[in-house]
Structure 1
Amino acid sequence: MGFKSVLSRVFAAVVNRKLNYLRKNAVALQQQVFLQLIEQAKATAFGKDHHFDQIKSYTDFKKQVPIRDYEDLRPYIDRVVNGEPDVLWPDKPAYLAKTSGTTSGVKYIPISKESMPEHITAARNALLNYIHETGNADFVDGKLIFLQGSPVLSEKAGISTGRLSGIVAHHVPAYLQKSRLPSYETNCIEDWEQKVDAIVDETISQDMRLISGIPPWCQMYFDRLSAKVGDKKIKDIFPNFKLFVYGGVNYEPYRARIEESIGFAIDSIETYPASEGFIAFQDSQKDKSLLLLCNAGMFYEFIPAEEYFDENPTRLSLAEVELNKNYALILNTNAGLWGYSLGDTIKFVSKDPYRILVTGRIKHYISAFGEHVIGEEVEHALMSVAKAEGVDVVEFTVAPQVNPPAGQLPYHEWFIEFGTDPADLQTFAQKVDKALQQKNIYYFDLIEGNILQPLVIKSLKKDTFINYMRAQGKLGGQNKVPRLSNDRKIAEGLENC
């Protein structure tokens, strides 16, 4: 056992005590964060416009601050991007995180000098919590790889600007820098496929012990690494590889294939970082849910998902949430986002402590016929059947077919790239359809009432999704294929690929 791993165990015990305090005092911590945020932003343009000096309670806040998405908040954000200080938060942001929105094009999310450390602390605590729980600390003595965006930053009005993962790369603690791969030069490669090949060359002979990234892009790395050495398992290339850290998408659709590539069921930590803030992480290997970080500079609000598009939806604080109910997540942050709709849906599976599961995107659903099918439901339906049938799913998405061939009822069309094909695709589709009916009563009613016909699966050729993402200029990095659409745009793109 090396010096780093010994020291990390001591540090992990300290962090665990802090996390235990968070677990037991989440509601009180949220109230503290709320009051601090209001006090710090009183003198900003937003604070003055929304009478922060009169806000004494969450009830007051809801009267003064409406729910906004990025486009609604954009008049303020544009002022920030143009270099004006004291707009949403005191002074100018330390960074602008550049993201790709599905409805807003390029988005610039402010990161303040107060919010940046929260990203680093949360990522560090996720690892230290794992060390404390399992006693496994050896990975800190070897090499660590983070598959991420380019660390090259540009400037807008004197504010450093780039992808969140590239910004974070500049804040990796010094004690990890010597162990961290890929190199700065390799990380700066913009073309994703060239970058993956360079990472393979740079890491193949190293003692890799922790690998972190979005699952589909890690899978690409594993595939190319394995092919380079004659189709070996990753465990044979990196015999000390013991921990996989991921975020950004649900791991379950990818788990079987990734574990097959690695050669065993590796320990994993799910994280829930966003440009807007680091929201949660998995704090137990015995539980797949995520611990909500209630003292990370963010005050959370929750809107019942079924009310999200109402004119005056219910807004709840942490103390008011219920278990196993889908909520749209709303953020108020120490970077100046107020009543900000992140676009994600979550549900609470525990209130002691407060743990969540990410269930989908509030705008990524299918309701072309009134069914309102969400991401969690399609993923469960597909993966439960695939696991039972021994079928390997590489990637998938679902779109409505509103105008089927003459004489046919409309249906949901599933575009699936299989790693291992079903023995009988039609039978497989029927089982998935039954599983979806069991998860969504509205979908069940539409099938039973002959409004919809059962789903149809279109099996795609190998690398179709990669080719599609390449054609969209979204290959690699933090980019993800939406699971659900209400139109045929993605479907048509896949068909063209």
Structure 2
Amino acid sequence: MAIIGSLIKGALELKGALSSEPNHLEAQQKVLEELLKTASDTDFGKKYLFEFILQSDDVQKNFAQEVPYFDYHQLYEQWWHKVIDGQENVTWPGNPDYFALSSGTTGTKSKRIPVTNEMIEAIRKAGIKQVEALSNFDLSSEFFEKEIMMLGSSTDLQEKDGHLEGEISGISASNIPFWFEGYYKPGKEIAKIDDWDKRVQRIAEKAKNWDIGALSGIPSWMELMLQKVIEHHKVDTIHDIWPNLQVYTSGGVAFAPYEKSFNNLLSQPITVIDTYLASEGFIAYQERPETDAMKLITDNGIYFEFVPFKPDYINQDGSLKQDAPSITLADVETDQDYVLLISTVSGAWRYIIGDTIEFTDVERAEIRITGRTKFFLNVVGSQLSVNKMNAALREIEQKFDIEIPEFTLAATRINDEFHHHWYLGTETSIENERLSEALDEVLKEANKNYKVARNKALKGVRVTTVPSSIFSEWSGAQKKKGGQVKMERVMSEEKFTEWEAFVSQSVSN
């Protein structure tokens, strides 16, 4: 009998029974007021009249009126470059000890996002909330005694100008509490290895020494790690190595595209739990098994706003037009995509994190990530979001009984006519033309704007299939493997030319 596991599970169940659902609207009002009070004497707080906002009758309304939207580049150019140079009290009191390096998707210069001690504490509290929510899932007592494999970026943070830099997963792992170290794998020594291939090789070599009950990490890199472990030990599935594996905590991207290929690495079903941890903060987590939607963390250092995701409100580079209307949690609706804005204890203000979300349950504040603002393909009015692309590919998978865990596309011009050119990561002998025709029909049926575009300026659809491994190789060539690196789903014509040259060279080799 798992005595310790039973005690832990019982304690979590008791905590859940005693905890009540927060009033999300009141929690958000309180978070905003605390953010404004704390930062009122900073340079940013003085410029945007935080003291005045706090004294107004409607703090949320006046905050939205006084403070403009910022994407990373705007916030960096106007404010955060001073923080990085070591100035204090710029957008948050003092100067942070950490900066999270993030390119979001591959091929762009790394961003340096401040990570304050208050943010590290907020991430820790959010992690505890997620652990407590495990009591809602049907997990055995034995599970709570097993080890957890956290596959993030290297914890070997780089010191620069008096602060430490690394990806947020590495910063979080380097700050794990002492009581968790016994559960945490691959352990500090292996986690410090910067080279992803070497780190995964060491994981594969050590794998049989561990009793892993849960996995945590981005799906694409987690799959590659599991494949490496399976190949190294010459077994059929990961359960031959880790028979007690029960849970996978996904995050960063939608899990659905990877579900079929991921399940092929298992000998028994596992519980998949979604999380939303970004470089800017721990935003949401899946609280209950009845849904794959995630609950916004409304009482933990992040204030949320939402802009309806409409082409008229979005600039070509994915940033928001300053006259785009924002709303608070009090006014959101289901079945509507929103651009997510956050203000945080790390000194981000009305910050465009780059993701679009939809609410599945307003009362519970539960959401799904539907895509990226920069991955919205609206050339000639086709209005394709990543969510719609993913949904279409799931239908193609079902129709042809294939797996398509990876894809990218661009709007290309042939003789001044626009075409959508899709690259699908899949192992199949089905002709590209058949896939192209099927994908085109699925998109027409599901999206009226796409259908209209196809009858006008969008003249055709092309599909090229390549091995899924090409996508991870591209990510490695553009930046580096593992961690928070994600594949860009929609490319510019210029970037797409680089991609095609890379694919051509990789296939010829």
TM class by smaller structure: over 0.9
For 2:434, the equivalent position in structure 1 comes to 427
Counterpart of 1:443 in structure 2: which amino acid? Y
For 2:286, the equivalent position in structure 1 comes to 282
List per-residue Cα deviations over 1:240-290 (Å, max 9, x = no partner): 111111101110000111011112331011100011111101112220111
Is it true that 1:346 corresponds to 2:350 in the alignment? no
Q: Does structure 2 conserve the Cα–Cα contact (< 8 Å) formed by 1:399 and 1:488? A: no
For 2:148, the equivalent position in structure 1 comes to 144
Is it true that 1:444 corresponds to 2:451 in the alignment? yes
Secondary structure at the aligned position of 1:79 is classed as: helix
Q: Does structure 1 conserve the Cα–Cα contact (< 8 Å) formed by 2:156 and 2:194? A: no
Instruction: State the 1:165 CA deviation.
Output: 1.0
Instruction: State the 1:385 CA deviation.
Output: 2.2
For 2:318, the equivalent position in structure 1 comes to none
Instruction: State the 1:313 CA deviation.
Output: 0.4
Q: Does structure 2 conserve the Cα–Cα contact (< 8 Å) formed by 1:396 and 1:416? A: yes
For 2:166, the equivalent position in structure 1 comes to 162
Distance 2:417 2:164 in 1: 53
Q: Does structure 2 conserve the Cα–Cα contact (< 8 Å) formed by 1:364 and 1:483? A: yes
Which residue of 396, 417, 422 maps to 2:425? 417
Distance 1:171 1:18 in 2: 28
List per-residue Cα deviations over 1:354-391 (Å, max 9, x = no partner): 11110111111222222221100111001122024321
Is it true that 1:333 corresponds to 2:344 in the alignment? yes
Which residue of 473, 492, 498 maps to 1:486? 492
Secondary structure at the aligned position of 2:102 is classed as: strand
For 2:135, the equivalent position in structure 1 comes to 131
Distance 1:44 1:104 in 2: 30
Instruction: State the 1:178 CA deviation.
Output: 1.2
Distance 1:317 1:246 in 2: 27
Is it true that 1:84 corresponds to 2:87 in the alignment? yes
Q: Does structure 2 conserve the Cα–Cα contact (< 8 Å) formed by 1:114 and 1:334? A: yes
Identity, in percent, stands at 27
Instruction: State the 1:465 CA deviation.
Output: 1.4
Q: Does structure 2 conserve the Cα–Cα contact (< 8 Å) formed by 1:100 and 1:106? A: yes
Secondary structure at the aligned position of 2:193 is classed as: coil
For 1:122, the equivalent position in structure 2 comes to 126
Q: Does structure 2 conserve the Cα–Cα contact (< 8 Å) formed by 1:9 and 1:132? A: no
The answer for unaligned runs of 5 or more in structure 1 is: none
Is it true that 1:33 corresponds to 2:31 in the alignment? yes
Deviates more, 1:437-446 or 1:251-260: 437-446
Secondary structure at the aligned position of 2:341 is classed as: strand
Which residue of 382, 388, 411 maps to 2:393? 382
Instruction: State the 1:101 CA deviation.
Output: 5.1
List per-residue Cα deviations over 1:2-43 (Å, max 9, x = no partner): 344223224423542576422xx1111101111111111111
Q: Does structure 2 conserve the Cα–Cα contact (< 8 Å) formed by 1:82 and 1:156? A: no
For 1:233, the equivalent position in structure 2 comes to 237
Which residue of 459, 468, 493 maps to 2:465? 459
Distance 1:80 1:7 in 2: 45
Q: 1:462 to 1:276 in 2, by over 3 A?
A: closer
Counterpart mapping for 1:170-249 below 5 A: 170-249=174-253
Q: 1:144 to 1:218 in 2, by over 3 A?
A: same
Instruction: State the 1:444 CA deviation.
Output: 0.6
TM-score, structure 2 length as denominator? 0.91
Secondary structure at the aligned position of 1:455 is classed as: strand
Counterpart of 1:139 in structure 2: which amino acid? F
Distance 2:205 2:429 in 1: 35
Instruction: State the 1:297 CA deviation.
Output: 0.5
Q: Does structure 2 conserve the Cα–Cα contact (< 8 Å) formed by 1:83 and 1:156? A: no
Distance 1:162 1:101 in 2: 13
Deviates more, 1:224-233 or 1:280-289: 224-233
Counterpart of 2:459 in structure 1: which amino acid? Q
Deviates more, 1:354-363 or 1:115-124: 115-124
Q: Does structure 2 conserve the Cα–Cα contact (< 8 Å) formed by 1:389 and 1:422? A: no
Distance 2:395 2:11 in 1: 39
Counterpart of 1:8 in structure 2: which amino acid? I
Counterpart of 2:81 in structure 1: which amino acid? D
Q: Does structure 2 conserve the Cα–Cα contact (< 8 Å) formed by 1:331 and 1:340? A: yes
Deviates more, 1:154-163 or 1:202-211: 154-163
Q: Does structure 2 conserve the Cα–Cα contact (< 8 Å) formed by 1:365 and 1:375? A: yes
Instruction: State the 1:456 CA deviation.
Output: 1.4
Counterpart of 2:242 in structure 1: which amino acid? F
Distance 2:205 2:278 in 1: 30
Distance 1:18 1:329 in 2: 31
List per-residue Cα deviations over 1:125-161 (Å, max 9, x = no partner): 2232122332434223122111111111223332222
Task: Give the aligned CA root-mean-square deviation in angstroms.
Answer: 2.0
Q: Does structure 1 conserve the Cα–Cα contact (< 8 Å) formed by 2:156 and 2:193? A: no
Secondary structure at the aligned position of 1:325 is classed as: coil
Counterpart of 2:361 in structure 1: which amino acid? S
Is it true that 1:60 corresponds to 2:71 in the alignment? no
TM-score, structure 1 length as denominator? 0.93
Q: 1:139 to 1:266 in 2, by over 3 A?
A: same
Distance 1:422 1:287 in 2: 35
Distance 2:81 2:114 in 1: 11
Distance 1:367 1:258 in 2: 31
Q: Does structure 1 conserve the Cα–Cα contact (< 8 Å) formed by 2:104 and 2:486? A: no
Secondary structure at the aligned position of 1:453 is classed as: strand
List per-residue Cα deviations over 1:188-211 (Å, max 9, x = no partner): 222211211111111134211111
Q: Does structure 2 conserve the Cα–Cα contact (< 8 Å) formed by 1:71 and 1:104? A: no
For 1:7, the equivalent position in structure 2 comes to 7
Secondary structure at the aligned position of 1:458 is classed as: strand
For 1:43, the equivalent position in structure 2 comes to 41
Counterpart of 1:236 in structure 2: which amino acid? D
For 1:16, the equivalent position in structure 2 comes to 16
Distance 2:18 2:493 in 1: 46
Which residue of 111, 117, 132 maps to 2:115? 111
Q: 1:326 to 1:213 in 2, by over 3 A?
A: same
Deviates more, 1:478-487 or 1:11-20: 11-20
Secondary structure at the aligned position of 1:465 is classed as: helix
Q: 1:265 to 1:367 in 2, by over 3 A?
A: same
Q: Does structure 2 conserve the Cα–Cα contact (< 8 Å) formed by 1:393 and 1:418? A: yes
Secondary structure at the aligned position of 2:493 is classed as: coil
Which residue of 96, 100, 104 maps to 1:97? 100
